[in-house]
Every structure is written in C-alpha cells, then in structure tokens.
Amino acid sequence: MSKKGITKDIIAQLCAIVGKQNVLTSPEDLVCYSYDAGTVSHLPEVVVIPGTVEEISQVMELANHNRLPVVPRGGGTNICGASIPLSGGMVMVMQRLNRIMEIDADNMVAVVQPAVNTASFHATVEELGLFYPPDPQSAHMSTIGGNVAQNAGGPRGLKFGVTRDYVLGLQAVLADGRILRVGGKTIKNVTGYDLIRLFTGSEGTLGIITEVTLRLIPLPETNRTMLAIFDDLLDGAAAVAAVIKAKIIPTAMELMDQETMKLVETTKPCGLPVDAQAVILIQVDGRDNEVTEQAERIKKLCLACGAREVKLARTEKESAELWAGRRAAFICMAMKSPTPIVEDATVPRSMLPHMVNKIKQIASKYDLFIPIMGHAGDGNLHPIICTDERNQAEMARVHQAIDEIFRETISIGGTLSGEHGIGLAKRKYIETEFGEVGVSVMRQIKQALDPNHILNPGKVFVMEKAK
C-alpha cells in the first residue's frame, strides 16, 4: 500500500483537477486496472484519467507531496508486470490523450499523444505513403506511449530497429509535476545528454510521457512473404544465421517450432505444417526487382540448410494467411495454458542455433513444456513456459529453468530482454547483466529525478540494495 494511503481529501483534490467522472474508486473499477497481459496482479487504490498535460502536472505535484505511488498505464498489454500497481496508490490511465496531433509529411515526422493506438497509427501514416516500422504483435491494443515506455520492438525490428530508433522528441511530466520537453522535428540532434533515450524504455519510472515526436520513413514499394519448412528445428535456426551471414537483412524472420504450430492448429487452424519440426516465416521488402532477387537468394539458403520446402506467397491474401498463425501464436498458448510465461532471451544472431538447443535441453531437464517462437532474425527468442501457477512443484522447476535460460543468455553475450522490458518479472536478474556499478548508476538517476520514489516504484530494479 502507499505510505500514507489515499485519504478522502486527496480524492477530493484529484476530482477537482481531472473531474469527478475521471476518478475511479469502486472495487469493480479498480480491478480492471490491477493486471497486465502477464501473470501478476495487484489492486490500485484509485484510478485517475487525466485529459491534459496540465492536469497530469497538477496530479503529479499532489502525488509527490503526499508520497503517493503513480503507475502510468497505456493499453496494459505488457507481459512483465510493468504496469502492475504493486505498491497500491494510483494508476494513471492515459486513454484520453489519444490524438495524432500532426503528421508533417514534408519532414516525415508525426507528433502524437501517448494513448494513440499503435495499429491505427500504422494505418494512418501508410495511407500517406509513410511508414512507422515498430510493430509489436499487440499493436491493435497497445499505445504509442506504452511502446515508447517499453521501447517495444516486433518482427520488423530485424531490418528497421525498435521504437527508440524512431523517437525524435518527447514531452514528459516529471515526478514533481515539472514539464520536460526534449528533442523535436530535426533528424539530427546531438545537443546535451540524450534524455530522449533515457526516457525511452524507462517503463514509467522516470516520468509520464505526454507527447512523442516520431520519425517516419517512406513506405516500402512492395513486400514478399515466404514460409520455409524444416524437419529439424536446429536446421531452421541455422538457416536464420545463414541468411544474416550472407548479408541479407529481411524485414522479418520469425521462428515457430512444432509445439507452437500444434497449439496454433488446435486453437486457430491456419494450415501450418504440424508434421514439420519448425517453420521460419520470412518477409522481405523494397523495390519489386530487389524483393524478387532477395526472396530467391533466401529460398536457396534455406534449402541448402535443409528446408524441405519454401512456400512463396503470391498474393496479399496468401501472405496474410501465412502471417495469421504467427500473429495468433501467443493468444493460442494463453488459451491452452493457465499460466503462460513468455521469456524474451536475446542472443547474438550467430548463437541462435546454440540457444534454441539449450532451451530444448532445459525444457527436458526440468520436465517442462516450452514451445519456442520468436523474432529469430534478430536473435530474439520467445520461449513460452506453459505452466499452471497452482502447481507449486512445477513452479519450482519453472523458476529453476528461467534462471538457467538467463544465465546461459548472459554468458553467451545476450541480454535479458530484446523488447518486452524488465518490469517485475526480470528485475532480480538485472544486476547479472548491468553489474553492481550499472545498477547503482540507474539508482542514482532514479533518485535524482524521483527522490520520493513515487513513479512506478519497484519496477526494473529495487531502489534499496539487497543486504
């Protein structure tokens, strides 16, 4: 619970700032903001839905004065506990700040409020021949503010990078209510410390993002999708590494193993070859002639690595059919398993076959069901541990398996998270990757910007060093 608790007086002041209808306190309302797309939940004491940056500033001043925890919330789709109000306090829902404020086609930039839905932003800019590549597979539910706060990626990250590669500027309300503005519409900007990057991926722990200026690029002329089918999972992983080694960077290279395909086919059949051990879904984009040439080269490389077949989509409909299974995969696992734990281990691309093999060994060692999928082209694997938190004996093995996956990931030069962030789920491992000095620098930054530790407390790392 928050240190002081929410008094009637605080509620009255919140109502005066944002309007009574935008302050929720009933248990039925609070429960809707107690969870994310992961496995942990905790009730907030109040939910506030501000409509302007000035209101956010006043709410933060009030919260800071009263030492009240504040957890910003976008679409609530993160899977690492990042938006769980673990210390009670307030959830600040961004949903009313949902306008695309400007699309400046001449400068190829857009200025948006944080609650703009990611997929509708994609559609809007694409109508103008522009392109915003970051494409978390939750795009129909997630928000741009949440994407910036988590530094979200997606399949297209392989060629186009992640959200931080597109943030040119932002406005954020600090813990004490001051309004910070950094960056803007210029493509180049090397002035001062890079506060844009500091806030991008800060998971709501340093400020409330209230406006974002995003870089856009020209929409690729065309694209081509293909499905490479493998009778050996490791051949599939080797094919991914071989394509990169051949200096081809497709838009996306998505791996699904046999277990993933079987789950998809029993829940949302879309014609995946369940007798195969793995498929790699590959997309290339660019000009017509280069796309055809790249597709041919990739096909040859996959066949040389042992693919039994490479299917090329001939129409947009066929391409959408090939993607349907990949898009449905996470939801299918969530439907089949009471507690699906999605991991995000990311390794140097050449280590992909090794890591895939290691995860399978770990699954067998701890007798766990761990289908593997992921954005394999950038080394970002999503092994999904399908378990049931009510089964305590199994959960003990799950935790051992997760420890082992992360130890291995770090030891071969990988990272805890390629895109999903740290939140609560991975904070205990953060020192393994950052070391003591790295974590202490992060604590000092947090202390400087949020001395009362009210912004999303307990996420990414704990403030107090463990004794």
Ligand X SMILES: Cc1cc2nc3c(=O)[nH]c(=O)nc-3n(C[C@H](O)[C@H](O)[C@H](O)COP(=O)(O)OP(=O)(O)OC[C@H]3O[C@@H](n4cnc5c(N)ncnc54)[C@H](O)[C@@H]3O)c2cc1C
Q: Which of 121, 427, 334, 280 is nearest to 136 (CA)?
A: 121
> In a 10 Å sphere around its CB, with 0-12 CB exposed, 13-18 middle and 19+ buried, how is residue 180 labelled?
middle
**Residue nearer to ligand X on the CB measure, 338 or 435:** 338
Q: Which one of 138-146, 280-288, 428-436, 445-453 is the stretch in contact with ligand X (CB under 6 A)?
A: 138-146
Q: Minimum distance from CB of 416 to ligand X (Å)?
A: 14
Contact between 169 and ligand X by CB under 6 A: the answer reads: no
Give the Cβ contact number of residue 341 at 10 Å.
23
DSSP 218-281: EPPSEEEEEEEEESSHHHHHHHHHHHHHTT---SEEEEEEHHHHHHHHHHS-----TTSSEEEE
Kindly state the DSSP code that residue 419 receives in the 8-state scheme.
S
**Residue nearer to ligand X on the CB measure, 177 or 204:** 204
Q: What tokens does 344 get?
A: 């995000």
Sole binder of ligand X in the list 22, 57, 66, 78 (CB under 6 A): 78
Contacts (CB under 6 A) with ligand X, residues 425-454: none
Q: Minimum distance from CB of 84 to ligand X (Å)?
A: 9
List all residues 6 or more positions away from 194 whose beta carbon is below 8 Å from its beta carbon: none
Q: Minimum distance from CB of 307 to ligand X (Å)?
A: 24
Name the pairing type of β-strands 109-112 and 100-104. antiparallel
Contacts (CB under 6 A) with ligand X, residues 187-206: 203-204
Sole binder of ligand X in the list 69, 136, 169, 183 (CB under 6 A): 136
Q: How far is residue 79's CA from residue 456's CA, in Å, rounded to a whole number?
A: 15
Contact between 77 and ligand X by CB under 6 A: the answer reads: yes
**Residue nearer to ligand X on the CB measure, 36 or 343:** 36
Q: How far is residue 126's CA from residue 185's CA, in Å, rounded to a whole number?
A: 19
List all residues 6 or more positions away from 203 whose beta carbon is below 8 Å from its beta carbon: 82, 149, 150, 421, 422, 423, 456, 459, 460
Contact between 142 and ligand X by CB under 6 A: the answer reads: yes
String marking each residue 393-422 x if it binds ligand X according to CB under 6 A: --------------------------xx--
**Residue nearer to ligand X on the CB measure, 89 or 153:** 153
Contacts (CB under 6 A) with ligand X, residues 303-342: 330-331
Q: What tokens does 117 get?
A: 């839905």
User: How many residues contact ligand X, by CB under 6 A?
Assistant: 37
Q: Minimum distance from CB of 152 to ligand X (Å)?
A: 3
Q: Minimum distance from CB of 211 to ligand X (Å)?
A: 9
- List residues bridging with 381 in a β-sheet: 374
**Residue nearer to ligand X on the CB measure, 114 or 236:** 114
Q: Minimum distance from CB of 457 to ligand X (Å)?
A: 11
Q: Which of 184, 159, 146, 172 is nearest to 37 (CA)?
A: 146
3-state secondary structure 133-164: CCCCCCCCCCEHHHHHHHCCCCCCHHHHCCHH
Q: Which one of 62-70, 135-143, 175-183, 234-242 is the stretch in contact with ligand X (CB under 6 A)?
A: 135-143
Sole binder of ligand X in the list 2, 39, 137, 251 (CB under 6 A): 137
Sole binder of ligand X in the list 2, 22, 66, 143 (CB under 6 A): 143
**Residue nearer to ligand X on the CB measure, 285 or 419:** 419
Q: Which of 207, 210, 242 is nearest to 228 (CA)?
A: 242
Q: What tokens does 192 get?
A: 């001062």
Q: What tokens does 247 get?
A: 């200096």
Sole binder of ligand X in the list 70, 71, 272, 295 (CB under 6 A): 71
Sole residue written with tokens 């805890």: 416
String marking each residue 2-41 x if it binds ligand X according to CB under 6 A: ----------------------------------xx----
Q: Minimum distance from CB of 287 to ligand X (Å)?
A: 27
Sole binder of ligand X in the list 56, 112, 152, 276 (CB under 6 A): 152
Contacts (CB under 6 A) with ligand X, residues 90-109: 94
Binding site for ligand X (CB under 6 A): 36-37, 71-79, 82-83, 94, 114, 136-138, 142-143, 145-147, 149-150, 152-154, 203-204, 208-209, 330-331, 419-420, 456
